[in-house]
Structure 1
Amino acid sequence: MTTEERKVIFASSLGTMFEWYDFFVYGALAAIFSKQFFAGVNETAAFIFALLVFAAGFAVRPFGALVFGRLGDIVGRKHTFLVTILVMGAATFLVGLLPTYSSVGLLAPLLLVLLRMLQGLAIGGEYGGAATYVAEHVPAKRRGAYTSWIQMTATAGLFLSLLVILACRSLMSTEAFETWGWRLPFLLSSLLLGVSVWIRLQLDESPVFKRMQEEGKGSKTPLRESFAKWSNLKIVLLALFGLSMGEAVVWYTGQFYALIFLTQVLKVEPQTANLLVAGGLVIGTPFFVIYGWFSDRIGRKPIIMAGCLLAALTYMPIFHGITHFANPALERAQETAPVTVSADPAECSLQFNPVGTSAFTSSCDVAKSALVKRGVPYSNLSLPAGSTARIHVGGALVASYDAKVAGAKEKAIAFEAALTAALSQARYPDKADPLEINAPMVVLLIGVLVIFAALTYGPIAAMLVELFPARIRYSSLSLPYHIGNGWFGGFMPPVAFAMIAATGNIYSGLWYPIVIAGVCFVVGVLFLPETKDREIHHGA
C-alpha cells in the first residue's frame, strides 16, 4: 500500500465511520427516545415508533443517493462527500439540542423526524462517494481488500457510538442519563465533524473522474443514463434484489437487531447489552477486511452468497442460543410454564398507533400489552366471538378485562396483581439476572452474527463499483445500495419488533431477514455476474 493509497483509505474510512457514528447513536438510544419524545402513546407503541423514526432516516436514503449521486457524477466525488458530512454533522448536533415531548408536545417528535431525514439524505450520498473514491484510487488486484475498509466503518461507527454511550452512562446516574445525559453523544459529534472535514479537505479528486473530465467523457444526465436505459437499469435491479437487500438484513440483524433483542426482548440491562454487543463487534470486525481480501482471490459473489445462505439457515438456532445464555431463567420458565393468550381474534389489534389517536382497550389488547411490556413470550388460542380474553401461565388462569367498562381502574389493579403473582409463581424473570448471563458465549454468538455480516458486506463495495461504468457509477451504485439498506435493512428492527408484539413469539421477527436473505441468495446465484477482474477506469 503506497502512502497516497493509505491516505485515501484512511481519510475516506475515518470520515465515513464518523458519519455512521452520527447515524447509529440514535438507534442505540431508541429506548430513551421512546420515553422522551413519544410519551403520548402506550409503551409498546412508543418503542416501535422510536424505531420507525430511526427507520425514517433509512427511508430517505435512496433520495439522498439520487441527489448526491447525480452531483458526484457531475461535479466530482470529493466535493460531494464533503457536503454530505457537513449535513450529517449539523443534523446530529441539533438532535442533542431538541426539546422533548414534555416541553413542546408533538412538535418534539416532528423536529426529530426532520433531523433524522436530513441524516438519511446525507448517508445516502456518503457511501457511494466513499466507495467510488477509494475504488478508483487503488490497484485492481487489491480493490476488494482496500474498499473493505470502507465497509468496516459502519460496524466501527456502531462500536464507537456504543463506547461513547457507555462512557457517558458511567459518568452519571441512570436517571440523569435518561433525563439529559443522552444529549452528550450527539453534541460530541461536533468534534468528530471538525476532524472529518479537516481530513477530507486534504484529499484530491478521484483520478478516474479527473481523466473523464479532461477527456470530456463525463455524463451530464447520470440519472437518466442510470435508470432510464434498460441495459443499466437491469443491473441496478440485480444489484438490489441479488445483492444489497440480502446484505442489508444480514448486517442489521447481526449487529443492530441483536442489541434490541438483548435489551427489549431478553431484558438485559442496557449497559451490559452494549458491552456484550461491543465484544461481538471486536471479534467480527476484522473479518470485513479478511473477506474483502479473500474476494480478490476467489471472487465477490461466492462470499456474499455464502453470508446470505448461512444467515438464513442459522438465525433461529443462534438467537435461541442467545436466549439460553443471556436469560436462562426466561427459557426455563417458557419450558415449564408456557404462557397462552386465549381470545376472540376479532378484538385483537396490532398495537401500534404512532399518532396516539387509538386506545387499545379490548380484553385481548390489554392482555397482550401487559405481556409484551414484561417481555413474556406467549402463544395464541382462539375463543368464540364475544369472549373475554384470558391468560394461562402454566396451570394458572388470569382473566383480562375490557378497559372501557365501568370500574376499569379497579379491574386493572386486580389484573396486574394477578398477572404479576402468576408470572412470579412460574418464575418468569422481570429482567435478565446479571449473575446468570454467560457473557463469553453471548459475545461469541454475536461475533458469529457479525462474521455473517462481514461475509455479505466486506466485498460489496468492490462489487457494486465494478458493476457500473465510471461516468454514472456514483448514481448507479448508490440507489440500489440505499434502497436495500434503507428500506429492507433499516425497517428490519421495527418490523421485527412489531411481529413479536403481534404474535408473542420472541423469534417471529427473524422470519423477516431469513426470507429476504433467502430470496437474495436465489436471485444472486442464478443471475448476478462475477465482477472481480473487471476494468473500472473506462467512462463508458
Structure 2
Amino acid sequence: MTAEEKKVIFASSLGTVFEWYDFYLYGSLAAIIGKQFFTGLDPTAQFIASLMAFAAGFIVRPFGALVFGRLGDMIGRKYTFLVTILIMGLSTFIVGVLPTYDTIGPAAAVILVGLRLLQGLALGGEYGGAATYVAEHAPHGKRGAYTSWIQTTATLGLFLSLIVILGTRTALGETTFAAWGWRIPFLVSILLLAISVWIRLSMNESPAFQKMKSEGKTSKAPLSESFGQWKNLKVVLLALFGLVAGQGVVWYTGQFYSLFFLQSVLKVDPAAANIMVAVALLIGTPFFVVFGTLSDKIGRKPIIMAGLLLACLTYFPLFKALTSAANPDLARAQATAQITLETDPAQCSFQGSPVARDVDFTTPCDIAKRALAQAAANYETVNGAAGTGIVKVGDKVITAPTATLTAGGHKFDEDSAKKIAAFKKDLADAMKAAGYPPKADPAKVNTPLVIAILAVLVLYVTMVYGPIAAMLVELFPTRIRYTSMSLPYHIGNGWFGGLLPSISFAMVAQNGNIYHGLWYPIGIAAITLVIGLLFVRETKDVDIYARD
C-alpha cells in the first residue's frame, strides 16, 4: 500500500468515523432524549417515540442517497464529502443546545425530528461516496481489503460515542448527566467537525472519476440512468433484496438492538451495558478487515451469505443466553413463575404506538398489557372471556380494572386512577414475590459471558458488512456508481435496519414475549439469504475501470 493510498483510506475513514459518531450519539442516548423531548408522553411511549425519532433519520437516508449520489456522479466525490459532513456536524451540535420540552413545549420534539432528518440526509450521501472513493483508488484484487477499512468506521464511530458518553457520565454522575450532561457529547462534535473538514479539504478527486471526466463520459442524468433503465434497475433491486436488506438487520441487531435489549429489557445498568458493548465492539472490529481481505480471495458472496445464515439459526439461543448471563434472576423467574394474561384479544389495542398515552388504554386487556410492558415482563396471552384482563404470576392472580376518563378525556377519573395504581402495585408485588428483579443485580452479571455473546453478534456484523462495500462498487459502472450503490445501501440499512429497534420493540410490546422482536431480523435475513444465493452473482474479479 502506497503512502497516497494510505492517506486516502485514512482521510475517508476518519471523516466517516466522526460522522457516524454524530449519528450514533442519538441512538445511544435514546432513553434520556425521550425524557427530555417527549415529556408529554408516558414512559413507554417516551421510549418508543425517541426510537421513532431516531428512525426518522434512517427513513430519509435514501433521499440523501439520491440527492448526494447525483451530485457525486456529476461534479465529483470530494466536494460532495464536504457538504455531507458540514450538514451532519452542524445538526448534531444544534441538538446539544436545543431547549427541551419543559422550556418550549412540543416545538422541542418537532425541531429535534427536523435535525434528525438533516442528519439522515447527510448520512445518505456519506457512505456511498466514501466507499466509492476508496474503491476507485484501490488496486485490482485488493478492493475488499481497502474498502473494509471504511466498514470499520460505523463500529468505531459507535465505539467513540460510547467512550465519550461513559467518560461524561462518570465525570458528572448519573443525575447531572441525565439533567444536562447528556448535551456535552453533542457539543464535542463541533471539534470533530473541524478536524473532518480540514482532512477532507486535503483530499484529491478519485482517479476513476477524473479519467471519466477528462474523457467527457460523466453522466448528465445519473438518476434516470440508474433507475430508469431496466438493466441497471434490476441490479439495484438485487443489491437491495439479495444483499443489503439482510446485512442491515444483522448489523443493527448486533450493534443496536443488543444494547437496547440489555438496558430496557434486562434492566442492566446503562453504564455497564455500554462498557460491555464497547468491549465487544473492540474485539470484533478487526474482523471487518479480516473478512474484507478474505473476500478478495474466496469471494464476497460466500462470506455475506454465511453471516446471514448464522444469524437466522442462532439469534434466539444467543439472546436467551444473554438473558441468563446478564440477569440470571430474571431468567430463573421466567422459568419458575411464568406470567400469563387471560383476556379477550378483540379488546386489546396496538401497544407499540409511539404517540400513545396511558389514558388511551381503558380496557382491562390494554391496562394489563401496558403495565406488563412498562415492567418489561415476559408473558403469554391466552384467550379469556370478554371484558377480562386476568394476570397470573406463578400462583398469584391479579385482575386488571376497566377505566373511565374525565369529561375532557385527558385523564382517568379519580376512581379509575386509584384502581389502576392498585393493580400496578399488586402486579409489582406479585412479580417481586415470584423472583422477578426490578433491575439486574450487578454482582450477578456474568460480564465475560455477556461480552462473549455480544462479540459473536458483532462477528456476524463483520461477516455481512466487511465485504459489502467492495461488492456494491463492483456491481455498478463508474458513471452512475455513487447514485446506484447509495440508494439500495441506504434503503437496506436505513429502512430495513434503522427501523429495527422501533419495529422489534413494538412487536414485543404487542405480543408480550421479550424475544418476539427477533422474528423481524430473522425474517428479513432469511429472505435476503434466499434471493442472494439464487440471483446475486459474485463480483470480486470485476474490472471496475473497464465498465461504463
* Alpha-carbon distance between aligned partners in 2 of 1:359 and 1:417, rounded to the nearest angstrom: 20
RMSD: 1.1
Unpaired runs of 5+ residues, structure 2, are: 405-412
> Normalising to structure 1: TM-score of the pair?
0.98
> Normalising to structure 2: TM-score of the pair?
0.97
Tell me which moved more, 405-414 or 224-233: 405-414
Is 2:46 the counterpart of 1:30?
no
Alignment partner, residue 9 of structure 1: 9
* Alpha-carbon distance between aligned partners in 2 of 1:61 and 1:331, rounded to the nearest angstrom: 38
* Structure 1 segment 452-491 matched on structure 2, within 5 A: 452-491=460-499
- Contact 1:212–1:539 under 8 Å retained in 2: no
Alignment partner, residue 359 of structure 1: 360
TM-superposed CA distance for 1:294, in Å, is 0.1
Tell me which moved more, 401-410 or 173-182: 401-410
Alignment partner, residue 345 of structure 2: 345
Residue in structure 1 matching 2:538, options 515, 523, 530: 530
Alignment partner, residue 383 of structure 2: 382
* Alpha-carbon distance between aligned partners in 2 of 1:317 and 1:516, rounded to the nearest angstrom: 18
Alignment partner, residue 409 of structure 2: none
Alignment partner, residue 407 of structure 2: none
- Contact 2:325–2:449 under 8 Å retained in 1: yes
Paired residue type of 2:142 = R
Paired residue type of 1:367 = A
* Alpha-carbon distance between aligned partners in 2 of 1:464 and 1:186, rounded to the nearest angstrom: 32
* Alpha-carbon distance between aligned partners in 2 of 1:62 and 1:49, rounded to the nearest angstrom: 22
User: Per the alignment, in what secondary structure is the counterpart of residue 390 of structure 1?
Assistant: strand
Is 2:452 the counterpart of 1:444?
yes
TM-superposed CA distance for 1:445, in Å, is 0.5
- Contact 1:41–1:354 under 8 Å retained in 2: no
- Residue by residue over 1:475-501, the C-alpha shift from the partner in whole angstroms, topping out at 9 and shown as x without a partner, is 000000000001000000000001111
TM-superposed CA distance for 1:352, in Å, is 3.8
TM-superposed CA distance for 1:539, in Å, is 5.4
Tell me which moved more, 402-411 or 370-379: 402-411
TM-superposed CA distance for 1:77, in Å, is 0.3
Paired residue type of 1:458 = G
Is 2:258 the counterpart of 1:255?
no
- Contact 2:52–2:354 under 8 Å retained in 1: no
- Contact 2:352–2:509 under 8 Å retained in 1: no
- Contact 2:259–2:274 under 8 Å retained in 1: yes
Is 2:432 the counterpart of 1:431?
no
Paired residue type of 1:391 = V
Alignment partner, residue 303 of structure 2: 303
* Alpha-carbon distance between aligned partners in 1 of 2:99 and 2:89, rounded to the nearest angstrom: 19
Alignment partner, residue 21 of structure 1: 21
Alignment partner, residue 279 of structure 1: 279
User: Per the alignment, in what secondary structure is the counterpart of residue 304 of structure 1?
Assistant: helix
Q: How many residues align?
A: 539
Alignment partner, residue 529 of structure 2: 521
* Alpha-carbon distance between aligned partners in 1 of 2:44 and 2:417, rounded to the nearest angstrom: 20
* Alpha-carbon distance between aligned partners in 2 of 1:42 and 1:306, rounded to the nearest angstrom: 42
* Alpha-carbon distance between aligned partners in 2 of 1:406 and 1:200, rounded to the nearest angstrom: 62
Paired residue type of 1:236 = V
* Alpha-carbon distance between aligned partners in 2 of 1:37 and 1:377, rounded to the nearest angstrom: 28
* Alpha-carbon distance between aligned partners in 1 of 2:231 and 2:384, rounded to the nearest angstrom: 56
* Structure 1 segment 204-219 matched on structure 2, within 5 A: 204-219=204-219
Is 2:319 the counterpart of 1:319?
yes
- Contact 2:48–2:353 under 8 Å retained in 1: no
* Alpha-carbon distance between aligned partners in 2 of 1:237 and 1:370, rounded to the nearest angstrom: 43
* Alpha-carbon distance between aligned partners in 1 of 2:374 and 2:17, rounded to the nearest angstrom: 35
Alignment partner, residue 84 of structure 1: 84
Unpaired runs of 5+ residues, structure 1, are: none
* Alpha-carbon distance between aligned partners in 2 of 1:410 and 1:114, rounded to the nearest angstrom: 39
TM-superposed CA distance for 1:361, in Å, is 2.1
TM-superposed CA distance for 1:409, in Å, is 2.5
- Contact 1:244–1:481 under 8 Å retained in 2: yes
Question: Percent identity, aligned pairs only?
Answer: 61
- Contact 1:247–1:517 under 8 Å retained in 2: yes
TM-superposed CA distance for 1:403, in Å, is 2.4
Alignment partner, residue 129 of structure 2: 129
* Alpha-carbon distance between aligned partners in 1 of 2:353 and 2:136, rounded to the nearest angstrom: 47
TM-superposed CA distance for 1:375, in Å, is 1.6
- Contact 1:45–1:351 under 8 Å retained in 2: no
Paired residue type of 2:513 = N
Alignment partner, residue 419 of structure 2: 411
Alignment partner, residue 188 of structure 2: 188
Residue in structure 2 matching 1:500, options 501, 508, 516: 508
User: Per the alignment, in what secondary structure is the counterpart of residue 341 of structure 1?
Assistant: strand
